[in-house]
Amino acid sequence: MAFLSSLVNGLSLGSIYAIIALGYTMVYGIAKMLNFAHGDVIMVGAYIAFCGAQYWGLPPVMCVLTAMLVCTVLGVTIERLAYRPLRQATSLAVLITAIGMSYLLQNLALQIWGANPKSFPVDLVALPGFTLFGGQLRISGVTLVTVLANIVIMAALTFFTSRTKLGKAMRCVSEDRGAAELMGISVNRTISLTFAIGSALAAIAGVLLCSAYPTLQPTTGSMPGIKAFTAAVFGGIGSIPGAMVGGLLLGIIEILSRAYISTELADAIVFAVLIVVLLVKPTGLLGKQVREKV
């Protein structure tokens, strides 16, 4: 029964990683850049939801929607001011800018909300849980909401990218920006839309993360952001199903490592598994080999 409990916790944590990983994989797949400030957008979303519940008296749904709105505006602003001017720059320049934006967001949060950890209102996700096997296995409401949110978001994104006009435009920009522009697709608008969607998902992930682990501080999104990036690479960065598979596997590996091997070594084991997978399959589990055009 302890194994089943750990597995459920792993699925819950993995679902959070998967939702965060979607932001990384969408931005990389379309803009071909790594937005390392994504983890800090998660933190901002959690703080906005916290303020909505603690100070503004908003109901839970409005807290989440407000966090999504603020993070969407933040993501589009970051893309417009920090990344768009570097569209033709080297990947190293973009990477350094992304790291700088990450530290900027952390320090702004430090100035606005202070360094003291905040206790996140766990009742923000108010779905009741249930027990199985005569009360030996308990599945919390936060776990249910997290797993369901992951499934719904993944299905909605898959439908959006494959069936809608905007989604097809994203795929065109991902394949060939020059050809997309010749077909009348606005590359800048499409990339901004990608940042908007990824940042809105980051807000949802921030609320779910802090509901499961109710401590909020300016560095809250740093390690989950790195692990979600690892999950995106694990599953095959640029692949939406890969983000889901990578996130779930990473969450399960981390929780089982904590339960049966060592709490201190859990993070090291996660990254060691990533290295082994990439040695065997460099493109990730569901990634595709892309041949460079000559």
Inside any domain, residue 202: yes
Q: What are the two backbone dihedrals, phi and then psi, of residue 130, each rounded to the nearest 5 degrees? A: -150, 170
How much is the pLDDT for 123? 64
What is the mean pLDDT, run by run of 10 residues, along the chain of 294 residues? Answer: 83 91 86 85 94 89 93 94 86 88 94 90 65 73 87 91 88 85 87 92 92 89 88 84 89 90 86 85 73 50
Inside any domain, residue 289: no
Q: Across the strands, what pairs with 215?
A: 119
**Is residue 137 within a helix (H) or strand (E), and if so which, with residue range?**
strand 137-139
Inside any domain, residue 290: no
Inside any domain, residue 262: yes
Inside any domain, residue 80: yes
Rounded Cα distance, 63 and 164, in Å: 29
Tokens matching residue 14: 């993995």
Inside any domain, residue 294: no
**Is residue 13 within a helix (H) or strand (E), and if so which, with residue range?**
helix 2-31
Rounded to two decimals, the pTM is 0.90
How much is the pLDDT for 135? 66
How much is the pLDDT for 90? 84
Number of structural domains (the chain) is 1
Rounded Cα distance, 10 and 250, in Å: 8
Rounded Cα distance, 218 and 277, in Å: 32
Is 287 in contact with 234 (CB distance < 8 Å)?
Answer: no
Rg for the chain, CA atoms, rounded:
19
Inside any domain, residue 291: no
Domain containing residue 208 = 2-127+135-280
Distance set, CA 266 to CA 202, 203, 246, 291 (Å): 24, 26, 16, 35
Q: What are the two backbone dihedrals, phi and then psi, of residue 131, each rounded to the nearest 5 degrees? A: -120, 155
How much is the pLDDT for 267? 86
Inside any domain, residue 285: no
CATH number of the domain at 62, please: 1.10.3470
Query: What is Dmax (Cα atoms) for the chain?
Result: 64
Rounded Cα distance, 119 and 54, in Å: 10
Rounded Cα distance, 27 and 20, in Å: 12
How much is the pLDDT for 294? 45
Query: What burial class does residue 226 get, using C-beta atoms within 10 Å of its C-beta: 0-12 exposed, 13-18 middle, 19+ buried?
Result: middle
How much is the pLDDT for 275? 86
